[in-house]
Chains A and B, each alone.
Chain A
Amino acid sequence: MIALTVNGTRHDVAADPFAPLSDTLREGLGLTGTKEGCNAGDCGACTVLMDGAQVCACLVSTAQAEGAEITTIEAADPLLDRLRAAFLARGAAQCGICTPGMLMAALDLLRRDVAPDRAAVEDALGGVLCRCTGYLQIADAVLDAARGTVIAAPADGRVGAAIPRLDGAPKVAGTELYGADDAPEDALWLRVVRSPHAHARFTLGDLDGARHRLGLFAILSARDVPGLNGFGIMPNLKDQPVFADGYVRYRGEAVLGLLGDRDVVAAVRDADLPITWEILPALHGVEAALTPDAPQLHDHAPGNILVRGHLRTGDAEPAFANAAARAGGTFRTAFVEHAYIEPEAGHAIPGEGGAMTILACTQAPVMDREETARVLGVAEEAVRIVPTACGGGFGGKLDVSVQPLLAVAARVANRPVRMTYTRTESMAASTKRHPAILYARMAADPKGRFTAFMLDGDFNTGAYASWGLTVANRVPVHASGPYRVPNVLNRTRAVYTNDTPAGAFRGFGVPQAAIATEALVDDLAIALGIDRWEIRRRNALGKGDVTPSGQVLHASAGLPDCLDALKPEWEAALARVAAHNTKHARHRLGAGIACMWYGCGNTALSNPSTMRISLARDGTLTLFNGAVDIGQGSTTVIGQIAADALGLPLSSLRQVLGDTALTPDAGKTSASRQTFVSGRAAAEAAKALRARILALANAGDGATLALDGTLLTVRDSHTTRVIDLAALDADLVAEARYDPPTVPLDADSQGVPYATYGFAAQLALVRVDTALGTVKVEEIVVAQDVGRAVNPLLVAGQIHGGVAQGLGLALMEEFIPGRTENLHDYLIPTAGDMPAIRIHLIEDPEPEGPFGAKGVGEPALVPTAPAILSAIRHATGVRMTEVPLLPHRLLGRLGGGEPPPAPLPSLSVGD
């Protein structure tokens, strides 16, 4: 037994002395507020205080904590309470998975330093990674707590109020339950044995013998999958096996499942398992996969091409040939890892008659149910998906991960099974942002009006399809940027390789395309001697304009307003850069600008949401909200919308959240659709309930409602009517479904792919050390058309987080399979890497959206990287065509000034 003193209480715990303290706190003492994100000291999620000093609990042997005072997020402490309140008020917790670690790091600081400045706060928080917030609201919250200036929340939660998130209290208390935080006592542990090879055949030997010898409950393989051994996003292509069947296509693919007691599955050496490998040459990158003699990785994909995307309008080649100014280039982007701080985790509970309940972190519970039911070979109704709190997603938790594995294991074992991915497993096995090779050309007339755009883009979709189709179809629609371009020809391919599967990641290929397009816009501005802001303003899509898909933008097209909002800051930035650079040779400033547009929701496919709201006879008002809040704030925003549309205060609304047995289908949390689509459904449901109430009261449209217990008071200008809900025959229930209106795309991608688009422009100010090739982004100024900011606090949080991810994409993030499979080799921005951010919210209302709102999350990321690259070019003259722009890549180009233009590639690659 090891004696631990945690939050002032002594515990005697039976633990392995070498076990990380984080594990003993969680599994031994049930103190799951301490999160484990990497078990390597790279993320800081497990930060606790040990004798008052912040430490990563994953780096402390349990034995070493004996005799020390350990303080965790569960502690009762007035200073910690002040920090909790400040975090809530500032929106410093989004998904909340890093929040306990952040709070403990901040507590350590404020106990040492009662009046820290921002630099001291960054130093103190620098060891805790956050992927959602961009850190600024966290630093503000710590400063607020230190100064005792915690801001008061708005009095009511109507649409437009910057209220703290409704689900924030458990996140700052450490009581929120994520995928790894809860499981039945008798659950077996599942550990997946994954292929260390990118491409191989294998044979399995005597698994039963191995199971017996190793003391395992079972060793699962492809033969144990009761239904279809396949899953995948595309309805007709379930190309990824749950367990590989003799053949693996990427490093990290699941081969076997070890089921048993936790210590036993952990003690198994993979090398002791009866797997015989025959290693095959691997296709890394699309160029390798597209060579004529490359092996074909899937029977359904000749030439390893999963799918092609295509958009054509006008006649681009002659328009390009005859233009006054032409630009072209080849651009490359890397695999980017989502790096949510919560690795995939959950548990499954088998029921009677084929039933299965899975509790796991996810962005798409209904899709999880379909996939899991198919794998189990049961009806969808037999499977219940209960999303746990989700510690970040960004697209990476749209695909199933643990769900089918747990389901198969629980079916075989006929008892509960749990699993938690390790960080490396999460990084090696889960989807990534598609690396892209983009061959793009763009042309303009003498006045700088764009005349032609052409793109041939190859996207490395890795070993399995995942969201490759979506990327291939979304990119052609968006690639010419938020500009009027009459002649466009865009061709994309998603290409199978032996790399990690690429799937959905905030922007679905649009961020990659924007890097190419915005560089070409700068090229044309330079060629024509037009200011970079000016050329964008002249071409900006606005109301009444026609997109390359032939869609007329009837409303909510606020890019001209965004650019106008940035104009004074753009001019000031240019002046500041010019003044600085005349005096400084080495550390040069640069200003850059980029624009983006982003269609909210699926590309020309139905993506409905259904919401239900009830006012029960006991007086409870409930929204049955199936939208999964992965930190972006949908629970709060949709709650605000529903309460406001109904006309009752938000404080009287309770919510039943995403559970396939309890809530209607609100679709997936992706494509910036929840505020827009689910929000609209919630507004319609609430309006329908309101209409029922007004009809009962025989009141007019302008009536006000008040709820007190079971008494609902309805007042209009001439009457007051009190309805006793308890006396009604039934609860008042209303349900509404909203599917954004789109028109299917033809072979040339002509149609109405999206009901609405987000628009944004960003200005970047960077400081480049031209001797070292390092870049510090000093400022980002954002102007974003959100239609209507339902909650400006949460909108700001989304924008900050998007900027952080865009900064990472531009400067440091590069997933290399087999090499950067942890969070010290794969770098994401830390608290010290963030620029100052100023935001101009443009509210050009979207008639389809609830209260005029549309999506926010992805648009915030798209312009950041191209704006930074534009600024680096301004500072140095170097036009970079590859990200991430690591210091050696930039310095390598700084020596010789503007490099020779890359030869324009043949555009035949998209045929």
Chain B
Amino acid sequence: MTAYHRPRSLDEALAIRAETGALPLAGGTDIHPLRTARAAWGEPWTMPVLDLSAVPGLDGIEEDATGWRIGARTSWTAIAEAALPPLFDGLRAAAREVGGRQVQNRGTIAGNLVTASPAGDGIPNLLALEAEVELASRDATRRLPVAEFVTGYRATALAPEEIVTALHVPRLDHARGRFEKLGARRYLVISIAMAAAVIAMEGDRVAEARIAIGACSPVARRLPALEAALVGQHPSEMASVPQPAHLTPLAPIDDIRATAAYRTDAALVLLRDLLAGFTA
């Protein structure tokens, strides 16, 4: 039987993590399927598991003067239903597109990030929110921007003794988020491509734009050139700004869901739809 730890405190959890390297599990919506996929071809699960579901203080959203702290174990449903400002509209839209409602009720924001799938629906939104990851170990707590935390295809900067404890989203006034997801069916679908934006206004002009594309590169990517081009625009002009050259940070691949060429085309369309939606 696999070692399965379910500590009742963060200290205990961090000690187990440090001593055993056990794999952190929260909602289980990635780990249980992974176990199933391996078992199907005769590879039983052997890795010890660190179940964080009984550790107090890991869920819920708190607001202070600098911004919001979203507990690592906060579920998609909790995010969708939280009283959050329009800055979070993109993240909340993504919260309603992850899996089906069953997965939204169990899957957590930190789990989506740590799994680091190129198609993780939360990640482009966290990039656009310029969120930081709070990482705890027995010895220290540190913060990393999401863009530095996700280092590659299903790879992160999480150290073997660390646990993600929260995400921090800085305040951004007069800002709104949006999210567009493209899949081959309505529900329960892995994204072919997705686009997230946070747009901050000053008067009737764009003061700051943060745009990220997911599922079109090993890690979701911000589009700095597009962001720069959007600053100073009137919202009604935004949809005409994205151009193919803005997509150079992307590196899409061919897979069963789409071709690389299609992803490039679709990313541009999604961006234009995403930006047009700010005035809808």
Question: A interface vs B, CB < 8 Å?
Answer: 16-18, 20, 38-42, 44, 47, 50, 53-56, 58-61, 63-64, 105, 108, 122-124, 126-129, 193-194, 196, 263, 266-271, 422-425, 428, 771-774, 811-812, 814, 816, 819-822, 824-825, 827, 829-833, 886-888, 891-892
Contacts and interface: CB of A to CB of B under 8 A. Distances in A.
A108 B269 contact: no
B44 interface: yes
Contact of B190 (A61, A123, A263, A824): A824
Interface stretch (B30-38, B87-95, B152-160): B30-38
Contact of A888 (B2, B44, B102, B258): B258
A830 B262 contact: no
Interface in B5-52: 6, 25, 27-29, 32-33, 36-37, 39-45, 49, 51
Contact of B269 (A424, A771, A814, A822): A771
Interface in B231-274: 256-259, 261-262, 265-266, 269-270
A772 B266 contact: yes
Given A55-B105, A422-B39, A126 B29 contact: no
B186 A832 contact: yes
B44 A269 contact: yes
A271 B38 CA distance: 12
Given A47-B102, A123-B101, A825-B256, A40 B32 contact: yes
Given A16-B1, A105-B101, A59 B44 contact: no
Contacts of B4: 16-18, 61, 63
Given A196-B41, A266-B39, A774 B182 contact: yes
Given A40-B36, A270-B43, A61 B100 contact: no
Contacts of A127: 99-103, 187-188
A827 B185 contact: yes
B53 interface: yes
B259 A888 contact: yes
Given A41-B102, A56-B106, A833-B185, A891 B42 contact: no
A17 B6 contact: yes
Contacts of B6: 17, 63-64
B28 A830 contact: no
B256 A424 contact: no
Contacts of B100: 44, 126-128
B228 interface: no
B192 interface: yes
B55 to A, nearest CB: 12
B189 interface: yes
Q: 7 tightest CB-CB pairs across the interface, nearest first?
A: A127-B100, A270-B42, A832-B186, A126-B187, A888-B262, A424-B40, A40-B33
Contacts of A266: 39, 44
Nearest to A774: B182
Contact of B184 (A124, A831, A886, A891): A886
A126 B265 contact: no
Interface size class of B (residues with CB under 8 A): 35 or more
Given A41-B32, A269-B42, A831 B187 contact: yes
Given A44-B102, A270-B43, A832-B186, 4 more contacts: A54-B105, A424-B37, A821-B40, A892-B262
Contacts of B39: 266, 422
A193 B4 CA distance: 27
Interface of B: 1-2, 4, 6, 25, 27-29, 32-33, 36-37, 39-45, 49, 51, 53, 77, 96, 99-103, 105-106, 182, 184-190, 192, 256-259, 261-262, 265-266, 269-270
Contacts of A61: 4, 25, 28, 32, 49, 51, 53
B157 to A, nearest CB: 26
A422 B192 CA distance: 27
Contact of A38 (B36, B96, B190, B261): B36
A891 B265 contact: yes
Nearest to B48: A18
Contacts of A773: 262
Contacts of A18: 1-2, 4, 45, 49
A41 B266 contact: no
B188 A54 contact: no
23 contacts: A40-B32, A41-B103, A42-B188, A55-B102, A59-B27, A59-B106, A61-B4, A63-B51, A108-B101, A123-B96, A123-B187, A126-B100, A127-B101, A127-B103, A193-B42, A194-B41, A269-B43, A270-B43, A422-B40, A774-B184, A827-B185, A833-B186, A887-B266
A196 B43 CA distance: 12
A830 B187 contact: yes
Contacts of A50: 105
Given A17-B6, A773-B262, A887-B192, A64 B51 contact: yes
B6 to A, nearest CB: 5
A38 to B, nearest CB: 7
Nearest to B104: A127
Given A18-B49, A267-B44, A64 B101 contact: no
B103 to A, nearest CB: 6
A39 B36 contact: yes
A268 B42 contact: yes
Contacts of B43: 269-271
Chief secondary structure at chain B's binding surface? loop
A332 B72 CA distance: 47
Contacts of A263: 1
Contacts of A268: 42, 44
A268 B40 CA distance: 12
A55 B29 CA distance: 10
Contacts of B101: 54, 105, 108, 123-124, 126-127
Contact of A892 (B51, B102, B259): B259
Contact of A53 (B49, B77, B99): B77
Contacts of B40: 422-425, 428, 821
Contacts of B33: 39-42, 59, 824
B105 A53 contact: yes
A271 B42 contact: yes
A62 to B, nearest CB: 9
Nearest to A67: B54
Given A59-B106, A887-B266, A814 B185 contact: no
Given A819-B256, A891-B262, A41 B99 contact: yes
A363 B53 CA distance: 43
Contact of A772 (B182, B188, B257): B182
Nearest to A38: B36
B256 A816 contact: yes
A699 to B, nearest CB: 59
B53 to A, nearest CB: 5
Contacts of A892: 259, 261-262
Contacts of B102: 41, 44, 47, 54-56, 59, 105, 127
A773 to B, nearest CB: 7
A824 B105 contact: no
B37 A822 contact: yes
Given A18-B4, A42-B188, A64-B53, A424 B41 contact: yes
Q: Which of A128, A422, A772, A821 lies at the interface centre, i.e. has the most chain B CB atoms within 10 A of its CB?
A: A772
A887 B37 contact: no
B180 to A, nearest CB: 10
Contacts of B257: 886
A59 B32 contact: yes
B51 to A, nearest CB: 6
A271 B101 CA distance: 37
A202 to B, nearest CB: 14
Given A816-B256, A887-B258, A55 B106 contact: yes
B36 A126 contact: no
Contacts of B186: 122, 126, 830-833
A830 B185 contact: yes
Nearest to A266: B44
A267 B43 CA distance: 8
Contacts of B36: 38-40, 58, 422-424
A423 to B, nearest CB: 7
